[in-house]
Copies of this chain bind each other. A is one copy, B any other.
């Protein structure tokens, strides 16, 4: 590759806007045909300021897209059993189509048990074991929102994944692991790297697609990016710094997500799109 190669930014902000617009059209159609808007229940335990902000932002975006939200704010002293009861109640409530449990829930709560109280058909945040296995096996279901957003970005920029080497850095249950499985389903050769990986630089150097999903500022060195690679930075660190050394990576990549404005906006867009789809499924509505 020559030094004059042009790099293209993957514009998550614009793509997210388009997805939200589509979701809004579908939400309006559902409201018109059924007399009730799609409804997302948001559940928050305690009052962690970052979590309060996230939930508020998600609800505001829902409102703008014509999606109702019902917020259940539980005190920090809520027990795991009480939280599970709440989530099971929402799972059985026909007026609620999607459920979002904002996490972390606090150290005294078994988050996995809480997630599992969400019915798979309302798991619009893609956090249940069922949703993970569905992503892994290529079965119908909801995807984890950030991985889903990453896949939509790759699709929007016509990235052909078949036979390509995709390296995922990070192995969390809602980001690294599922995005690797989604890339594998698209016939990429997938490598999972993480904190114990012995020679990260060398592995990154062989990657056609890099997904950084670890939350460590500039862990991925720009000079390790293979010329012409596609770089997806799902890291969000203080000061709007991603997991990739952006400035150097920019001189080598073919496609790269900015931070902010890359992966970030896609996450909420997928949440809204999946909420509308959940409502359509539960109400038996086929979109035109």
Contact B139 A132 (CB under 8 A): no
What 0/1 readout, one digit per residue, does chain A (154-170) give for beta carbons within 8 Å of chain B? 00000000111100000
Which residues of chain B come closer than 8 Å to A191, judged between CB atoms?
A: 189-192
Which residues of chain B come closer than 8 Å to A171, judged between CB atoms?
A: 184
Q: Is A196 an interface residue (CB 8 A)?
A: yes
What 0/1 readout, one digit per residue, does chain A (203-243) give for beta carbons within 8 Å of chain B? 10000000000000000000000000000000000000000
Contact B164 A198 (CB under 8 A): yes
What 0/1 readout, one digit per residue, does chain A (183-194) give for beta carbons within 8 Å of chain B? 010010111111
The prevalent SS among residues of A at the interface is mixed
**Chain A interface extent, by class:** 20 to 34
Q: Is A52 an interface residue (CB 8 A)?
A: no
Instruction: Show 20 A/B contacts (Cβ-Cβ < 8 Å), sorted by A.
Output: A112-B139, A129-B130, A129-B133, A129-B134, A129-B137, A129-B139, A132-B133, A162-B196, A163-B196, A164-B198, A165-B198, A171-B184, A177-B181, A180-B192, A184-B192, A184-B194, A189-B203, A190-B192, A191-B191, A191-B192
Known: A133-B133, A136-B173, A187-B196. 18 other contacts (CB 8 A): A112-B137, A129-B129, A129-B133, A129-B134, A129-B139, A162-B196, A163-B196, A163-B197, A163-B198, A164-B198, A165-B198, A177-B184, A187-B194, A189-B192, A189-B196, A189-B198, A190-B191, A190-B192
